C-alpha cells in the first residue's frame, strides 16, 4: 500500500482526541456502555466526532480543526455537553485519567468493529489490556519536510507532555509508583516507540515502502509511535499524553504543543540528528516514573537537570510566541502546575490518601470531567 501524498494543512492548526472512561454510578467500575452512548448521540451536530475505541468501556471524542486554545476549548466544551447529556440519560459517568485505577482487563469486551476484532486476534490479551486512555494532539504542517523536521524537534519535549498530562498512577488496584503507568501498556506493542530518523519525505516513503514490503504493516495506523506523521490530514500527531482530568487541561496541553510548533517554525532552534535519540528512552522513562521530579538529559548538551527545571525554562522562553498564538493564559496555568499545583497523578494520589477508597477517587474524577467549570484544583 502506498503512503500517499502529504496533504497541505493550515500551519500550526491543532486538533485534539481524548479517550474517556465510561463508569457505572454504583461502584464506579468500568461499564461497557459505548454502543448505547453512540446510539444516543446519533444525529447530534457537533464540531467534531465521537467514536468507539478498542473496548466497550471506552469512548473517544475528537475536535474539528482548531485555530488555537480558545477555539479548541470551545469545541471540547460543546462535545462534552452532548456526551454528559447522553451519559446522564444512561445513568453512567464519564471520567478522564490515563488508567482506570481498579478495573480488570480480562472483564473488558472488544468493541464489535472489524479493525478492533482484527487487532484483538493479532495481539491477544494485549488488546483488552489496552483499556487505557490517552490524549492525542494533531499539529498542522504546510508540507511533508516541515512535518518531519517539526516531529524530530518536538521529540525532545516528549517528557514535558508526559509529565504535564500524567494521570495514571494506579493499575489493577495498586499504586504503581509511576505518574504515567498507561504508557507501559503502549510500549508492549511491537511497533511502538519513536519514529525512524528521516528528514525528507522521500526518505520516509522509502522506509515505509520497506516496512510494507515485509508484510508487517499495511498503513500508518499500524505504527504506535510517540509522534507520527498523518499525511492524510497534513499533520504530525503527538500520542504520549494521558487523558487529563479536565477538558481545560487537555486544551492547555494542545496550546503548549502549538506554541512549541510556532517557536520551532519561526526560530528553527535545532538541527535534528540521530544522536538526539541517545537519551530519548531514558528521558521518557523518567517522566513516566517521576513526573516533574524526573531527570532530564538535554539531547544536545548532555546537561542533567530536573524535568521541572527544563519545563519552567521552556515555558518562560515561549512567552513571546505564546502571545502571538493567544496561548499565553494556557501556558501560565501550565507553569503554575509545574511550579506549585502538581499534575493530575498527584491529585489522584492525594484524593486516595484522604479517602482510602479507589471507587471514591473515580467518583471524584468523573465529577471533575462532567462539570463545565474546569478550573484548576490543587493537588492536596
- From residue 15, how far is each of 241, 242, 251, 369 by CA, in Å? 14, 16, 10, 19
Contact call for residues 96 and 40 (beta carbons, < 8 A): no
Contact call for residues 78 and 46 (beta carbons, < 8 A): yes
Paired residues of 4 in beta bridges: none
Per-residue model confidence (pLDDT) at position 189: 81
* DSSP sequence for 137-176: EEEE-SSHHHHHHHHHHHGGGHHHHHHHH--B-EETTEE-
Longest alpha-carbon distance in the chain: 56
Mean pLDDT for the chain overall? 93
> Domain segments of the chain: what residues?
14-369
pLDDT higher at 371 or 237: 237
Joined grid coordinates for residue 80:
462534552
- Residue the block writes with cell 520497506: 210
Percent of the chain with pLDDT strictly greater than 90: 83
pLDDT (tens digit per residue) in 252-295: 999 999 999 999 999 999 999 999 999 999 999 999 999 999 99
Closest among 378, 362, 360 to 370, alpha carbons compared: 362
Per-residue model confidence (pLDDT) at position 377: 41
Handedness of CA 212, 216, 218, 219 (dihedral sign): negative
The reply to whether the predicted model has a pTM over 0.85 is: yes
- From residue 170, how far is each of 92, 125, 202, 214 by CA, in Å? 21, 19, 43, 38
Per-residue model confidence (pLDDT) at position 299: 96
* DSSP sequence for 208-240: HHHHHHHTS-SSGGG-EESEEEETTTTEEEEEE
d(CA 45, CA 228): 29
What average pLDDT score do residues 150-160 get?
Answer: 98
- From residue 126, how far is each of 7, 185, 325 by CA, in Å? 33, 8, 40
Q: Length of the chain in residues, anyone?
A: 380
Contacting residues for 129 by C-beta, under 8 A, at least 6 apart: 105, 185, 188
Give the H/E segment covering residue 330: helix 328-336
Per-residue model confidence (pLDDT) at position 1: 59
Per-residue model confidence (pLDDT) at position 120: 75
- How large is the C-alpha radius of gyration of the chain? 20
Per-residue model confidence (pLDDT) at position 98: 97
Per-residue model confidence (pLDDT) at position 373: 46
d(CA 185, CA 241): 13
φ, ψ at 159 (rounded to 5°): -60, -35
Per-residue model confidence (pLDDT) at position 21: 97
Ranges 48-62, 96-110, 266-280, 359-373, most confident: 266-280
Q: Is it the case that residue 77 has pLDDT exceeding 50?
A: yes
Per-residue model confidence (pLDDT) at position 187: 86
Per-residue model confidence (pLDDT) at position 376: 45
Per-residue model confidence (pLDDT) at position 379: 38
pLDDT (tens digit per residue) in 23-76: 999 999 999 999 999 999 998 899 999 998 878 999 999 999 999 999 999 999
CATH for 14-369 (3.40.50.720, 3.40.50.300, 3.30.590.20, 3.30.930.10) = 3.30.590.20
Amino acid at each position: 500500500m502506498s503512503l500517499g501524498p502529504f496533504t497541505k494543512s493550515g500551519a500550526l492548526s491543532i486538533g485534539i482526541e481524548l479517550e474517556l472512561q465510561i463508569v457505572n454510578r454504583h461502584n464506579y467500575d468500568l461499564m461497557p456502555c459505548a454502543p448505547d452512548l453512540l446510539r444516543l448521540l446519533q444525529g447530534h451536530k457537533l464540531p467534531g466526532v465521537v467514536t468507539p475505541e478498542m473496548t466497550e468501556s471506552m469512548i473517544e471524542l475528537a475536535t474539528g480543526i482548531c485555530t488555537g486554545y480558545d477555539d479548541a476549548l470551545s469545541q471540547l466544551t460543546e462535545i462534552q455537553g452532548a456526551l454528559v447529556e447522553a451519559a446522564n440519560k444512561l445513568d453512567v459517568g464519564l471520567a478522564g485519567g490515563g488508567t482506570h485505577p481498579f478495573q480488570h482487563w480480562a472483564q473488558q469486551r472488544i468493541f464489535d468493529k472489524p479493525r478492533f476484532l482484527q487487532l484483538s486476534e493479532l495481539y491477544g490479551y494485549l488488546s483488552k489490556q489496552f483499556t487505557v486512555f490517552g490524549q492525542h494532539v494533531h499539529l498542522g504542517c504546510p508540507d511533508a519536510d516541515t512535518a518531519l523536521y517539526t516531529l524530530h524537534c518536538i521529540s525532545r519535549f516528549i517528557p514535558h507532555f508526559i509529565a504535564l498530562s500524567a494521570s495514571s498512577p494506579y493499575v489493577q488496584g495498586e499504586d504503581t509508583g509511576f505518574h504515567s503507568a498507561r504508557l507501559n501498556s503502549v510500549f508492549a506493542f511491537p511497533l511502538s516507540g519513536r519514529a525512524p530518523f528521516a528528514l525528507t519525505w522521500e526518505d520516509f516513503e522509502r522506509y515505509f515502502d520497506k516496512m510494507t514490503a515485509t508484510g508487517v504493516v499495511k498503513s500508518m495506523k499500524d505504527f504506535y509511535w510517540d509522534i507520527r506523521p498523518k499525511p492524510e490530514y497534513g499533520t504530525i500527531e503527538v500520542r504520549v499524553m494521558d487523558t487529563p482530568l479536565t477538558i481545560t487541561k487537555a486544551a492547555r496541553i494542545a496550546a503548549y504543543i502549538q506554541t512549541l510548533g510556532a517557536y520551532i517554525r519561526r526560530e528553527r532552534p535545532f538541527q535534528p540528528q540521530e544522536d538526539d535519540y541517545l537519551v530519548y528512552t531514558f528521558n521518557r522513562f523518567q517522566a513516566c516514573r517521576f513526573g516533574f521530579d524526573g531527570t532530564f538529559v538535554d539531547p544536545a548538551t548532555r546537561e542533567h537537570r530536573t524535568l521541572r527545571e527544563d519545563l519552567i525554562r521552556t515555558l518562560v522562553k515561549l512567552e513571546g510566541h505564546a502571545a502571538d498564538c493567544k496561548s499565553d493564559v494556557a501556558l501560565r496555568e501550565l507553569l503554575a502546575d509545574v511550579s506549585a499545583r502538581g499534575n493530575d497523578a498527584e491529585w489522584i494520589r492525594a484524593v486516595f490518601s484522604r479517602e482510602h477508597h479507589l471507587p471514591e477517587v473515580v467518583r471524584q474524577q468523573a465529577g471533575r470531567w462532567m462539570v463545565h467549570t474546569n478550573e484548576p484544583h490543587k493537588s492536596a
